[in-house]
Chains A and B, each alone.
Chain A
Amino acid sequence: MLSRKRWLPAVLLALFAGLVVVGCGGSDNGGGGGNASDNQVLKWGLGSEFQLDPGLATDTTSAKLVLNIFDPLVKLDDKLNAAPSMAESWDVNGAKVVYHLKSDSKWTDGTPVTAKDYEYSWKRALSPELASDYAYQLFGIKGATEYNSCKSNCAALKDKVGVKATNDTTLEVTLTSPQPWFVQQSAHSVFLPVPQKAVEKFGAKWTRPENIVTNGPFKVEAAQPSASITLVKDPDWRDADSVKLERVEGKIIVDGTTAVQSFEAGEVDVLDEQLPPAETPRLKDTPEYQLYPGLGTTYYGFNVKDNIKDVNQRRAMSLAVDRQSIIDNITQANEKPADAFTPVGMPGREDIVTTASPWTPAHGDLAKAKEYMAKATNAKKNITIYSNESPPNKEVAEALQSMWKQIGITSSIKILEWQQFLEFLGPPPPKSVDIYRLGWVGDFVDDINFLELWTCDSGNNNTGFCDKGYDANVAKAKNTPDNTARYKVYDQLEQTLTGQDGVLPIIPLWYITYPNLERESVKDTFNINLLDQVDLTKVEIKG
């Protein structure tokens, strides 16, 4: 009987063997691609699903892509100054901005690109039917807010929006007030032109690779929005001669660990989103590791209205924080310790943060912290820290917990899921919150984008801090087109927040960085600017 049963294990073994063969006998797939300099193909690891409609793009992956397949009026250079792109030049005269466009550009369907395309696109982005998330970027234009929030009479309000193509190459913009940052702001993806004919013909499906019409240096050859995108150089683009790359093969890799493995296996040349913090210590000394400063500040905000009312306690808690040690041991992405709310890299920062805050030493000052804690009458010595769950926020909260323990403050940490966290924080801040973690990343280039956060009515002011004088200064800054004069006002605002006699509603911790992995053949030319944008026309694969 035993002999009869022998066939069964044999079958099983064969099956397993088969699997092993299938599993391991694989092809020669994978491995590094050719890196010859005549092979101008960039393999690019992307962090998330994308959408190619500039009016709807909200995430950084989409923004990076659309800025390279459509032609912005202006681009931002390394110092965030506006540089000509589709606009050859521009005149700013108070609240009036006039862009002079180049005349030699065509859409991929052969029709010329004109100022009318921009007028159409901006009004489309503002239309309540499109309900664009980034429509507020255009709210500086006269009549824009009214049109965007119209309930009736929308057509008439649309005509009143202050953007007009007076001829094929002239785009006239009327702003609600002089806004010296507007030209730089128009480098944002929501200001990109969209092809009116294709949009009207295909509706929401106009961004499909078979329908899309573009006018940028690269065109879409193939796209699967959640898996991959292939861009090819458009040989008919107005400045095609300056474009080195022939092809860009973008591949979406959502999981950070997998992304790193994919890079190490040679499947992608650049990984520019979502390097997992856990991998940083291992990667940061490799030649492929690249760090870019970002225009963003990570901070902890106090509930100054209900709980941490004594400024001396806030000073003490800020003094007790060893920012450098958190950066060295936890975040590890070489962030700059923050000494003010306005981040490094912000135009005019030297004039805005003229005197360093005495409350934010990079290594902390425990003795001084204890001194101020002693000065605090009415200190709250048992506090709750709120943070969201994504790494390394919890570790940072724990580090702060132990630092504050040294000045006699015991704390418990509450970690919430991101969406619930945002909703929970208010404003107005809930009474249970003593201090919370958040960050702020600028989306256009002027400090108003940061300092406006702390006005009484700001939807992002979760501290309960409200100072009419501060609000008046914000209003004053908005009406001060001259940079030097405006930066002086910003200086006052920054002093009110973090200066010697500042209210200190927040503890600035560090200025963010964007860590990348970039193959040595591209790392010199692939660059991320402070607003997390990349200009693929500058990229070149070196042999």
Chain B
Amino acid sequence: MTAFIIRRLLWTIPVMLLVILLTFLLMRQIAGNPFRRTARAVPVEIQQNLERKFHLDQPWYVQYALYVKGVFTLDLGPSLTLRDRSVNDIIKEHFPKSLELGLLAFIWAIAVGIPMGVIAALRQNTFWDYSLMFVSNVGYAVPSFLIATLLIYYVSLKANLLPTNGWDGGWQYKVLPAFALGLAPMAYFARLVRGSMLETLQQDYIRTAKAKGLRWRRVVAVHALRNSMIPAVTAMAPTLGYIITGTFVIEIIFSIPGIGRYFVTAVSSRDYSVVMGITVLTSFVIVLANLVVDILYGILDPRTRDART
């Protein structure tokens, strides 16, 4: 197992290099000038100073090499638009907020989604099944910006129960964004677990377990649940990676100073170094999340263990 983890961690290096290269090249393919923010053209002298300062006057491979060197010395460079901050500062300030929001949303999505799926499967084609799957369908289909806007309107504005936006200042600020962000993953997990649970319940070993007189609760909890978790666990890695690295829509609507909001504004303002920095961070988190999932596989399904050591 240790060897497996080390090997996987080493693999992240070429993966990251490729991600950096692709983002680097793609970002420079789209037209635009990071130093021009309004209709006003940037005077030549000013443009030259800025390009010199940020090494944009160098050939692309030099810029790429400088950047890679920066990444491996944990210095992601300065922001091109927020000039008094470095990308490290930006990540340090904003990533924890996205992480917290993502984890809260993820936890509730799992805590509700998985039991929902299990119940729906156990009560297949009953009122419970239909109503839970209805909730799940709605949760999955309705876009989060709509949910968020409706929540702000009814819960904050009409009922005056929670603040309309913001993040720092107490749990009241976190309820609505976490709920809105977790709704779709919750619905997704519920459907996934229901499907795999139904399939697992058809398996011979479940019938055997029942036949040898095990209590039903034990059959479900030990035999069926564990095996039907595998697809959900597979889906968790990208979901987790995605939601903790910042979600633009929720962060914008609730004015949360997270990393997702930054990412999108950085792309539209052509803040190359911020885009690169956040991409590096995101891909690192996703690579890591995938690793965790692979380890979980081993725990859930012993058969996959040997193949991976």
Which A positions have Cβ atoms within 8 angstroms of B?
1, 4-5, 8-9, 11-12, 15-16, 19, 22-27, 29-31, 49, 51-53, 56, 58-59, 128-129, 131-133, 135-136, 139, 145, 148-149, 204-205, 207, 224-228, 251-255, 257-258, 261-262, 264-265, 267, 417-420, 422-424, 438-441, 443, 458-460
Contact = CB atoms under 8 A, between A and B. Distances in A.
26 contacts: A4-B217, A9-B119, A9-B123, A23-B162, A29-B163, A49-B82, A53-B83, A128-B52, A132-B46, A136-B45, A148-B45, A224-B93, A228-B168, A255-B255, A258-B254, A258-B255, A261-B165, A262-B164, A262-B165, A267-B163, A267-B166, A419-B36, A422-B33, A423-B32, A458-B41, A459-B42
A132 B45 CA distance: 10
Contact of A226 (B52, B94, B152): B94
Contacts of A1: 216
A420 B30 contact: yes
A420 B82 contact: no
Contacts of B45: 135-136, 145, 148-149
Given A257-B149, A258-B255, A417-B268, A51 B84 contact: yes
Nearest to B118: A8
A419 B156 contact: no
Given A8-B119, A23-B175, A30-B163, A128 B49 contact: yes
A9 B128 contact: yes
Given A131-B50, A420-B31, A26 B39 contact: no
Q: Which of A30, A139, A207 counts the most B-chain CB atoms under 10 A from its CB?
A: A30
B291 interface: no
Interface stretch (B109-117, B198-206, B276-284, B299-307): B109-117
Contacts of B168: 224, 227-228
Contacts of B222: none
B172 A27 contact: yes
Contacts of A49: 82
B270 A254 contact: no
Contacts of B254: 258
B308 interface: no
Given A26-B161, A30-B160, A56-B83, A131 B46 contact: yes
Nearest to A252: B255
Nearest to A461: B41
Contact of A136 (B31, B43, B116): B43
Q: Which of B83, B93, B179 counts the most A-chain CB atoms under 10 A from its CB?
A: B83
B12 interface: no
Contacts of A128: 49, 52-53
A397 to B, nearest CB: 16
Contacts of A58: 37
A253 B252 CA distance: 8
Q: Which of B31, B159, B270 counts the most A-chain CB atoms under 10 A from its CB?
A: B31
B128 A422 contact: no
A439 B167 CA distance: 35
B95 interface: no
B160 A31 contact: yes
B212 interface: no
Contacts of B42: 133, 459
A519 to B, nearest CB: 16
A51 B253 contact: no
B167 to A, nearest CB: 7
A356 to B, nearest CB: 25
A464 to B, nearest CB: 15
Contacts of B159: 24
Contact of A438 (B39, B108, B111, B262): B39
Interface string B198-228: 0000000000000000011100000000000
Contact of B161 (A24, A51, A132, A258): A24
Interface in B33-72: 33, 35-46, 48-50, 52-53
B14 interface: no
Enumerate the 3 nearest inter-chain pairs by beta-carbon distance, A residue then B residue, closest first. Answer: A419-B32, A459-B41, A131-B49
Given A12-B119, A58-B37, A135-B46, A23 B155 contact: yes
Contacts of A129: 53
B194 interface: no
Contact of A26 (B44, B93, B175, B252): B175
Given A131-B53, A226-B257, A417-B268, A440 B252 contact: no
B179 A265 contact: no
B40 to A, nearest CB: 7
B268 A418 contact: yes
Contacts of B111: 15
Interface string B249-273: 0001111010001100100111000
A460 B39 contact: yes
A257 B36 CA distance: 26
B122 A8 contact: yes
Contacts of B130: none
Contacts of A139: 43
Nearest to A459: B41
Contact of A15 (B115, B155, B270): B115
A262 B215 CA distance: 54
B40 A131 contact: no
Contacts of A253: 165, 255
Contacts of A15: 111-112, 115
A121 to B, nearest CB: 15
Contacts of B32: 419-420, 422-423
A419 B268 contact: yes
B50 A133 contact: yes
B223 to A, nearest CB: 15
Contact of B115 (A8, A23, A145, A418): A8
B153 interface: yes
B84 A53 contact: yes
Interface in B228-257: 252-255, 257
A460 to B, nearest CB: 5
B157 interface: yes
Contacts of A23: 155, 162, 175-176, 179
Given A224-B93, A261-B157, A417-B268, A59 B50 contact: no
